[in-house]
A = this chain, B = another copy of it.
Amino acid sequence: MAYRSTDRVKARLSASRQRIVTAALEIMAQHGYAGCSVAAVAERAGIATGSVYSHFPTKADLFAEVFRIASQREVDAVSRAAGLEGTMAARITAVIETFAGRALQSPRLAYALLAEPVDPAVDAERLVFRRAYAHIIAGYVADGIARGELPAQDPDLTATALVGAFAEAMVGPLAAGVAGPDTIPNLIAFAHRALGVSP
Residues of B close to A189: CB separation below 8 A:
153
List residues of A (150-199) whose CB comes within 8 Å of B's CBs: 151, 153-154, 157-158, 160-169, 171-172, 182-183, 186-187, 189-190, 193-196
Q: Is A64 an interface residue (CB 8 A)?
A: no
- Given A160-B169, A166-B164, A194-B193, residue A123 in contact with residue B130 (CB < 8 A): no
Interface range on chain A: under 10, 10 to 19, 20 to 34, or 35 or more? 35 or more
Q: Which residues of B contact A117 (CB under 8 A)?
A: 117-120, 123
CA–CA, A16 and B109, complex, Å: 43
CA distance A153 to B182 in the complex (A): 11
Tell me if A169 and B183 are in contact (CB < 8 A): no
Q: List 25 A-B contacts (CB under 8 A).
A: A34-B120, A117-B117, A117-B118, A117-B119, A117-B120, A154-B182, A157-B183, A157-B187, A158-B186, A158-B190, A160-B168, A160-B169, A160-B172, A161-B165, A161-B166, A161-B168, A161-B190, A162-B165, A163-B168, A164-B169, A165-B168, A190-B194, A193-B193, A193-B194, A193-B196
